[in-house]
A and B are shown apart, each in its own frame.
Chain A
Amino acid sequence: MRPIPLLLALVLAACGDKGGEGPSGAGSVELEVVLSYGAVSRPYMPNMEEVAKQIAGDLEEAGLTVDLKKQEWGPYLQRVRNGEHQLALLGWSADIPDVDNFLYVLLDKTQARLGDANNISFYTDEAVHLLLEEARYTYDAARREALYRRAQAKILADAPMVPLAFSDRILAHRTSVGPIAMELITHPLLRLATEPKDGRIVFGRSGDAVKLDPAVITDGESSNPVEQIFDTLVRYTPGTATIEPGLALSWTSNAEHTVWTFALRPGVTFHDGTPCDAAAVAHAFERQRDPAHKHHKGGEFAYWTDLLGYVERVEPGASALEVVFRCSRPAPAFFVSTLAVFSFCIPSPTALDKHGEAFSRNPVGTGPYKFVSWQSDVEIALTRNDSWWGGAPAVKEIVYRKIPDAGTRTQALKSGAVDVIDNIDLATLPQLESNAGIKVVRQPGMHVAYLAMNTRKKPFDDPRVRQAVAYALDKRRIVKAGWEGQAQPAATPVPPNLLAPSPDLKDRERDLARARALLSEALGAKKP
């Protein structure tokens, strides 16, 4: 390619394919709507295009004319968060396995600020807001669940969005290595693999890490090695969303839930020999909280503001093994669970002093694996930490290798060039499943894909139009088209492994007659 065509290509890439399929124009066009989607594959929705087409087909059967608008991911995200869309496809991957992380983030009115909205339906129902707020600070699990069920019922009735599917997280590995299991939130815990003993596991994945500093990263390719190199105060029991002790052995709070004290595990040291004591742990959090901290550099620390913004100060307690979190208001019920997120891994303060911003390429933690080397865009090598507090892992070396093409990744697994792959092309799954030397591992994921209806824009300000859309969709067909069947249709935005759907909460079955009736009612009412 010569420079000029290349420039053109860049411009075209930037503008994205805006062609789309315009409205046919013919027929009795009662209502024309625009469905926007991104030209991208996300873990919660691997094939947005197919989903968009299927939805458009369903809606046209109900009498709507749908204009599909495809955009490149970056500009698309900007548009929907600015509320410029009518209908838009999006999804959410949970940070914390908690109902709040779905309902509050996606549907609370505080999340509907133009520009950085996560609630891109711009649903601002006050009753739902009050329920979700109350649930945040309800520490009794049963009462909390009851509040969420009430909020869910109201949301389903108002239909600000149509939850589409919960897709599986899928991984494939050679049977000569393992066992490797999919976790709910984190990446596979390679410390749990027993084979090959004292050997090496090569993990083939689509992209390289951006940085390896837990405090500043936001992407999965970075958090995968980070989760092996570092530890958090608490962690998820493998395969579950339950919290168990990590670097902290136990924790208590005052009656108001504003002061939390964590007792640290004694005798833990970082890979560079620095003791992991209260000072080191407090340092890790203060660094993220305090913009004036000398190591508050090299990133936006977005997770801190989003997830722990209510923490006022973290400081060493009465002993060298006691850390105290002081909050400006009661910490929410899921506070401790938040501390298991990779962003809140504990880095070595000595290494931060030594490397400064370059810590992100020389990470030092307390985890089961130690960082060895990183060749940008090629591979990251780790070796086991023989003195890990949880016992040295069986597998000695881990290599993360970037193999951008999904087809090549599959072939690399079959040839044995790599031992594990993720981001699998769903079309090649049957091929992998029939291979005796390969095991495919599945786990319902902590993410939801949904169709957002912008309640700030006509005609979706009218709940009847939104309900009509919900009645018009055939979720089973959508799942088949967009996920090759590797997903569960979603009745609510909350994955069933977090909150089992209550029997009295009935999702709308496809009912075209009802959809049409609701539409003509809404449109008729609008006509002068």
Chain B
Amino acid sequence: MLSYALRRLLLVVPLLLAVSLLVFALVSAFPGDPCLIKLGQHANATSVERCHVELGLDKPWLERYGDFLAGALRLDFGRDFFTSEDVGSVMAKKLHATIELAFFALLLAWLLGTWLGTRSALKPGGWSDFLGQLLALGGTSIPVFWLGMLLIVLFGVKLEWLPFTGWTAGEIGPGVPYSSGFLFFESLFRGEWAAVSSALQHLVLPGVALATIPLAVITRMTRSAMLEELGKDYVTTARAKGLPERLVVGRHVRRNVLIPVVTITGLQLGTLLSGAVLTETVFSWPGMGTHLVQAALQRNYPVITAAMLLFTVIFVLVNLVVDVLYHLIDPRLRTPRAR
């Protein structure tokens, strides 16, 4: 198991090399000069040339790629073309904000989704089935920016119950010396209860908006997997031997249902972590999604490349975790592969 995980991790290295080469090549082939975007109406031959030299864009493509690789090995992803800030440390903070939002959205989606999915499979045609279907349909078809705006207008402006902007250290925990972008987890860790409560309030609206997408997927997957498992022979056997329904579902069926649900959840997590662009934009969330989109529009090469590499790592890790979870859920997979 451990060696399997290690082997999988080692595979990341050639994958990252390939992705970095591909991204670097693509990004350099983009039309549009970052210096022209940066200098705007004051771009002139002299200033553009100076800008090229300053950003290293006067060098040949391969040389730049070499420099990038040398830096990346030391986890130095260079300076942002526009703000001159260290790309890595800025991205770390963005990732923290994205992780917190994704964590809450997924937690909500997982809890509600598996519960609703199970219930609607057990009582098809009941109210929970109806609600589940409705949420699943809504979650996949309602654009999240529209839902987000609706939540803002209702709960933020009309009722004034919840905040919808201001995920900032100064708003969440004034005076708390945050050292990371994890405003919720760090407040919790430091025992700053006022900040924890404020952070939770700030998380509700974006969390709910973002949760609708994985919620729909998880509910539907749980329901169909559950229906499939309930029709199997072992369920009939368990019921025939007089096992209470609670145990049939809780002990036997749910374990088997979890496998496809965990897979789909893993994929959803990957999606959420690589940036919920629309949710982040609507709720002014300082996360990865908006960061990458802005970088792409500005031709901020170092940021684009570093972000793509980060997403690759995230996807590989999430998939690895999902595989490890399989082994924990399904004992059959634990037996050695060699006969």
Contacts and interface: CB of A to CB of B under 8 A. Distances in A.
A6 B34 contact: no
B163 A3 contact: no
B284 A357 contact: no
B91 to A, nearest CB: 10
A118 B304 CA distance: 30
Nearest to A14: B30
Interface stretch (B193-201, B242-250, B289-297): B289-297
Given A3-B312, A401-B165, A411-B164, A116 B45 contact: yes
B169 A404 contact: no
B82 interface: yes
Contacts of B324: none
Contacts of A219: 40
Nearest to B23: A7
Given A10-B296, A14-B30, A404-B284, A78 B36 contact: yes
Interface in B32-90: 32-48, 50-51, 54, 82-85, 90
Contact of B51 (A74, A300, A379, A417): A300
A14 B31 contact: yes
Given A218-B40, A375-B169, A411-B152, A74 B163 contact: no
B139 interface: no
Interface string B1-31: 0000000000000000001001100110011
B264 interface: no
A408 B164 contact: yes
B157 interface: yes
B55 to A, nearest CB: 10
Nearest to B51: A300
A415 interface: yes
A11 interface: yes
Given A10-B304, A116-B43, A415-B157, A78 B33 contact: yes
Nearest to A202: B166
Contacts of A381: 170
Interface in A226-263: none
Interface size class of A (residues with CB under 8 A): 35 or more
Interface in B251-306: 267, 270-271, 274-275, 281-284, 286, 290-291, 293, 296-299, 304
Given A211-B84, A300-B39, A415-B160, A404 B290 contact: yes
A418 interface: yes
A303 B46 CA distance: 12
A357 B85 CA distance: 11
13 contacts: A1-B275, A2-B271, A3-B311, A73-B297, A81-B43, A302-B43, A302-B44, A377-B290, A378-B169, A378-B286, A411-B157, A415-B157, A415-B164
B164 A303 contact: no
Contacts of A113: 45
A300 B50 contact: yes
A15 B31 contact: yes
Nearest to A418: B165
A6 B274 contact: yes
Interface string A331-360: 000000000000000000000000001001
Contacts of A299: 54
B168 interface: yes
B86 to A, nearest CB: 11
A434 to B, nearest CB: 15
Given A74-B31, A211-B84, A401-B168, A6 B308 contact: yes
B286 A115 contact: no
Contacts of B163: 417
A408 B42 contact: no
Interface in A392-447: 399, 401-405, 407-408, 411-412, 414-415, 417-418
Q: Which of B38, B163, B167 has the most CB of A within 10 A?
A: B38
Contacts of A298: 84
Contact of B284 (A10, A11, A402): A402
Interface string A358-383: 00110000000000010111110100
B308 A412 contact: no
B308 A211 contact: no
Contacts of B281: 404-405
Contacts of B298: 74
Contacts of A7: 22-23, 26, 308
A218 B283 contact: no
A20 interface: no
B153 interface: yes
B317 interface: no
Interface residues of B, number: 71
A1 B165 contact: no
A13 B44 CA distance: 26
A285 B304 CA distance: 35
B138 interface: no
A11 B28 CA distance: 11
A328 interface: no
- Select the residue from A113, A376, A405 with max chain B CB neighbours within 10 A: A405
Contacts of B30: 11, 14
Contacts of B299: 74
Given A3-B315, A302-B39, A302-B42, A116 B160 contact: no
Given A10-B26, A116-B45, A403 B32 contact: no
Nearest to A10: B296
A124 interface: no
A74 B37 contact: yes
Given A11-B26, A74-B33, A402-B284, A115 B45 contact: yes
A306 B44 contact: yes
Given A210-B82, A375-B169, A412-B164, A303 B42 contact: yes
Contacts of B90: 376-377
A302 B38 CA distance: 11
A22 interface: no
Interface in A137-165: none
A306 B42 contact: yes
B26 A72 contact: no
A77 interface: yes
Contacts of A15: 31
B23 to A, nearest CB: 7
B50 A379 contact: no
A273 interface: no
A270 B182 CA distance: 36
A75 interface: yes
Contacts of B168: 375, 378-379, 401
A379 B40 CA distance: 24
A116 to B, nearest CB: 5
Contact of A305 (B31, B46, B84, B152): B46
Nearest to B297: A13
B84 A78 contact: no
A381 B282 CA distance: 22
Nearest to A12: B296
Nearest to B271: A1
A116 B311 CA distance: 37
A93 interface: yes
Nearest to B160: A415
Nearest to A361: B85
A231 to B, nearest CB: 22
